[in-house]
Chain A
Amino acid sequence: MLVKLRFILWALVGVAALAGIWIALKPPAELPSTAEMPLDTIGGPFTLTGSDGQSFNSAGLNGKGTAIFFGFTHCPDVCPTTLARLSKLRKQAGGDDAFNIVFVSVDPERDTPADVGRYAELFNTPVIGLTGSVADIERVKKQFGVYSAKAPLPNGDYSVDHTSTVFLMDRNGKFVATLAPEEGEQVALEKLKRIAA
């Protein structure tokens, strides 16, 4: 009897040791990515701040499809490249009215409503620039499964690493598809046509 109990106790010690080893060796959590989000939970209603400084509700986008991109105005390469690409493809998909292009700042500490407005205007086509309080932006990032983090630059300034996936929503604000920068123009155009009026 005692031998059996001793055996069970030692077995428990063994299990605990293995669990400890597993915890120690387990790979670190990966960056959160939209791929891990159940697709039907992406998006949902939100309220942010428009370039005029007034509150902007996502209900105002309904009636048209929407391509939403998260970025920041001090972003010199990926953000303007994405917005330029969306603008060009929208013309091919049916014109400037075919769907909304929305730019949401993930750098609300620097990006004022006027900043996102000026940035959006650069593309000579309607682009809706949005920013908000840090809490507002965090909430919307979570709704879309968007990641962002400051990355320091050598001169004390910072850049922002961020999800560069574009989210395509239908005329009722329901998630349709994502569009990655790596996807070819033809694939991108086909996807955008699905949300075009």
Chain B
Amino acid sequence: MRRTSIAFLAFALASCGEQANPRIEISDAWARETGAGQNTGAAYATIENTGGADDELLAVTTDRATMPMLHSSESVNGVSRMRMLQSLSLPADGTVELRPGGIHIMMEGLKSPLKAGETFEVTFRFKQSGELVVPVKVEAAGAR
């Protein structure tokens, strides 16, 4: 009896172990075109965690900006302000959308303007899933 329980426990633990991995997919990564002289831009993407465990986005890096960071635009009493996020939780089986007017990658210290039609790379670093390099497409400023 005792042996059965242990075996069952071992089996349960093993199957947990199999499921307990986040699986991250990033889609629709885009940035808004910027003008000459603008030192900041914003990039957006949809981050899906199809795995059975939580993950966390810890950092974003890119060659195109000296200080890219995760930001969230918030509106209180009609006043909008940006708040820096230290990290972004990605719950198991969940989707987090980085979108205009919400959470976004603030590309502080743009080295050159983002031109509509071009693509640049952003590296997303996750707590569990390591790094993912994603091509980000620059869209016309008025596109969406």
Chain A residues proximal to chain B, CB less than 8 Å: 30-31, 33-35, 73-78, 80-81, 83-84, 87-88, 114-115, 118-119, 121-125, 147, 151, 153-155, 157, 159, 161-165, 178, 180-182
- Chain B nearest Cβ from A150, distance in angstroms: 11
Q: Which residues of A contact B143 (CB under 8 A)?
A: 84
Q: How many A-B residue pairs have CB under 8 A?
A: 111
Q: Is B112 an interface residue (CB 8 A)?
A: no
* B124-142 CB contacts (< 8 Å) to partner A: 140-142
Q: Decide if A119 touches B104 in the complex (CB within 8 Å).
A: no
Which residue on B lies nearest to A123, using beta carbons?
B142
Compute how far the CA of A164 lies from the CA of B75 in the bound complex, rounded to whole angstroms: 8
Q: Specify which chain A residues have a CB less than 8 angstroms from the CB of B101 in the assembled complex.
A: 77-78, 81, 181
Partner pick for B73 among A78, A114, A121, CB 8 A cutoff: A78
- Chain B positions within 8 Å of A, measured between CB atoms, are 32-42, 66-67, 69, 71, 73, 75-82, 84, 100-101, 104, 106-109, 140-144
23 A-B residue pairs with CB within 8 Å: A31-B76, A31-B77, A31-B79, A34-B78, A35-B77, A73-B35, A76-B107, A77-B104, A83-B142, A84-B100, A84-B143, A114-B37, A118-B38, A122-B33, A153-B108, A157-B39, A157-B109, A164-B78, A164-B80, A178-B78, A180-B75, A180-B78, A181-B101
Contacts of B35 in A (CB 8 A): 73, 118-119, 121-122
The answer on a CB contact under 8 Å between A33 and B39 is no
A74 near B78 with CB under 8 A, answer: no
Give the distance in Å from the alpha carbon of A74 to the alpha carbon of B80 in the complex: 14
B78 touches A155 (CB 8 A): no
Q: Which of A80, A118, A163 has the most CB of B within 10 A?
A: A80
Q: Smallest distance from the beta carbon of A60 to chain B beta carbons, Å?
A: 23
Instruction: Give complex CA distance A76, B38 in Å.
Output: 9
Which residues of A are found within 8 Å of B41, using beta-carbon distances? 76
Complex: how many Å from CA A164 to CA B144? Answer: 18
User: Which chain A positions have C-beta within 8 A of B79?
Assistant: 31, 33, 147, 161-164
Contacts of A73 in B (CB 8 A): 35, 37-38
For A123, give its contact among B40, B73, B141 (CB under 8 Å). B141
Partner of B40, one of A76, A81, A114, A163: A76
Cα of A151 to Cα of B5 in the assembled complex, Å = 59
Residues of B within 8 A of A84 (CB): 32, 100, 141-144
Query: Which residue from chain A places its CB closest to the CB of B71 in the assembled complex?
Result: A77
The 8 closest A-B CB pairs, nearest first, are: A164-B80, A81-B100, A161-B81, A76-B42, A122-B141, A76-B40, A123-B142, A118-B35
Q: Given A33-B77, A163-B79, A181-B101, is A77 in contact with B106 using a C-beta cutoff of 8 Å?
A: yes
